[in-house]
């Protein structure tokens, strides 16, 4: 199993998301510890990050296979998330 680590900014953004969505996003993040590359995830071009979509929200994360760590980089709405990564 992978260890899940959430960066502080991603955690703050998660707390701003309305509860029914936040609950599902938490569930998706927890499932990453078992399967870090679930169906529907996508590797972002020219980065080491992956993306999972849920409704209008995106979870951007990095997989560190050697250390068995999933690092959640950013969580946010589709319209804002990719600008943050640039």
Mean pLDDT to the nearest integer, 14-29: 95
Residue 46, pLDDT score: 83
Residue 81, pLDDT score: 82
Residue 84, pLDDT score: 63
CATH number at residue 66: 3.30.2310.20
Percentage with pLDDT > 90 across the chain = 85
- 25-59 tens-digit pLDDT: 999 999 999 999 999 999 998 889 999 999 999 99
Residues 6+ apart with CB under 8 A from 2: 32, 33, 34, 36, 63, 68, 69, 70
Q: Write out the residue range of the structural domain in which residue 72 sits.
A: 3-85
Domain count, the chain: 1
């Amino acid at each position: 199993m992978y260890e899940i680590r959430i960066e502080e900014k991603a955690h703050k953004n998660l707390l701003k998301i309305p509860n029914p969505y936040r609950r599902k996003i938490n569930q998706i993040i927890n499932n990453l510890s078992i399967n870090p590359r679930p169906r529907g995830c996508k590797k972002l071009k020219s980065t080491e990050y992956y993306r999972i979509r849920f409704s209008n929200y995106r979870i951007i994360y990095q997989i560190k296979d050697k250390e068995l760590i999933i690092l959640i980089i950013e969580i946010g709405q589709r319209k804002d998330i990719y600008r943050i990564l640039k």
